[in-house]
Amino acid sequence: MSAWAAVAFALCLFARPCCALPPATAVATPEKVILDTDIADDIDDAYALALLASAPNVKLLGVTTAFGETGKRAQVAAKLLAALGRSDVSVFAGRKGGSAIGRQYQWARRFRSPALKSGDAALFLKTQIDQAPGQITLVGIGPLMNLGDLLTRYPEVKPKIRRIVLMGGAVYAGYNNQAPAVPEWNISRDPAAARIVFTSGVPLVMAGLEVTTTLHLDAERQKRIFADGTAGTDALAALTNLWGGGTPTLFDVAAVAYALGHRFCDEERDHVVVDDSGLTRITDGPPNVTVLVHPHPDLFLDWYVSILRTQIPGDKA
Ligand SMILES: [Ca+2]
């Protein structure tokens, strides 16, 4: 039994009394995934990318960057991938916008790599989907302009996308984990793009604020990760230090974990609409979204720390 399977099995046993969903197991055949991220503002994108890039039995086909300074975000993603031993993963900058970028960019401002591609991000997504119809999961952990561009410019790809898993939205809670729901950041940066995604008919999973706001990576758990001193964990430590926002909340990691087959919460099927403010609301109608609910934060965080330390490659002697 691999270390991954051992941890997943143990957590499955622990989770069973409070979680009736399928056990946490690695999928049998490699999951094909593309990550769309706004890495370099909040810190959770880096933790999400570290989990995905180091996961076994996953074929990470590429990374695209969204929101504002997409080229600079691509540098951060590519440098983190390199630190994780994944310079083979191509990174495409999405459509550039006018927003600034956070301090984490300083860490990567001199970084250059053949993995940084100059091609069009939406076209890259379309090409990959055409080459593997019905097989690719798109994981969106930033504002949705790239996925909106993809579905608008190439609507013919919709039936070929296996599913979209988002960190985004809120139907029951706000950032304080209390009702009422509020417009969530990723959705409210571009509600029109979000509406395109939510009405696309593509199978959609939403990890919103009701399952993500309690995922706090406290100092003790951070120490356990950083103590390994590998290139990958050193990169996470440097980025966390530059970010300087206190205790990271692992919003985006929830979406990646779900895409990898880890279940740390319940789920329900709802009809969800996006209003002009970016609020996501449940209304009457046929279900269009699988909404994640009722998380188990400690279970999730302990799993995350353990699996990350197992997965991230150590330095070679
Ligand atoms: Ca993000």
Number of structural domains found in the chain: 1
288: in domain: yes
pLDDT in tens, the chain (317 residues): 444 444 444 444 333 333 333 444 444 678 999 999 999 999 999 999 999 999 998 999 999 999 999 999 999 999 999 999 999 999 999 999 999 999 999 999 999 999 999 999 999 999 999 999 999 999 999 999 999 999 999 999 999 999 999 999 999 999 999 999 999 999 999 999 999 999 999 999 999 999 999 999 999 999 999 999 999 999 999 999 999 999 999 999 999 999 999 999 999 999 999 999 999 999 999 999 999 999 999 999 999 999 999 999 886 44
The residues whose Cβ lies within 5 A of ligand 1, an ion, are 38, 45, 141-142, 252
20: in domain: no
* Model pLDDT, residue 10: 43
18: in domain: no
Rounded to the nearest angstrom, the distance between the alpha carbon of 42 and the centre of ligand 1 is 7
DSSP state letters, 251-310: HHHHHHHHHTT---SEEEEEEEEE-TTS-EEEESSS--EEEEES--HHHHHHHHHHHHHH
Identify any residues that bridge with 271 across adjacent strands, giving them in sequence order.
283
Strand, coil or helix: what is 216? Answer: strand
Query: Do residues 213 and 249 lie in contact, with contact meaning Cβ atoms separated by under 8 Å?
Result: yes
- Dump strand ranges (E) for the chain: 31-37, 58-65, 91-93, 116-117, 136-141, 163-167, 204-207, 266-274, 280-283, 289-293
Rounded to the nearest angstrom, the distance between the alpha carbon of 44 and the centre of ligand 1 is 6
* Model pLDDT, residue 139: 99
17: in domain: no
Stated as kind and residue range, the H or E segment containing 123 is helix 121-131
Rounded to the nearest angstrom, the distance between the alpha carbon of 38 and the centre of ligand 1 is 5
3: in domain: no
* Model pLDDT, residue 315: 63
Residue whose token pair is 């769309």:
36
* Model pLDDT, residue 30: 86
Domain of residue 68, CATH code: 3.90.245.10
* Model pLDDT, residue 317: 45
11: in domain: no
Rounded to the nearest angstrom, the distance between the alpha carbon of 1 and the centre of ligand 1 is 33
Structure letter (DSSP) for residue 89: S
- Rounded to the nearest angstrom, the gap between the alpha carbon of residue 246 and the centroid of all alpha carbons in its chain is 20
* Model pLDDT, residue 97: 94
Q: Which residue range(s) make up the domain with 39?
A: 29-311
Q: Would you give the end-to-end CA distance of the chain in angstroms? A: 26
12: in domain: no
185: in domain: yes
Query: Do residues 308 and 225 lie in contact, with contact meaning Cβ atoms separated by under 8 Å?
Result: yes
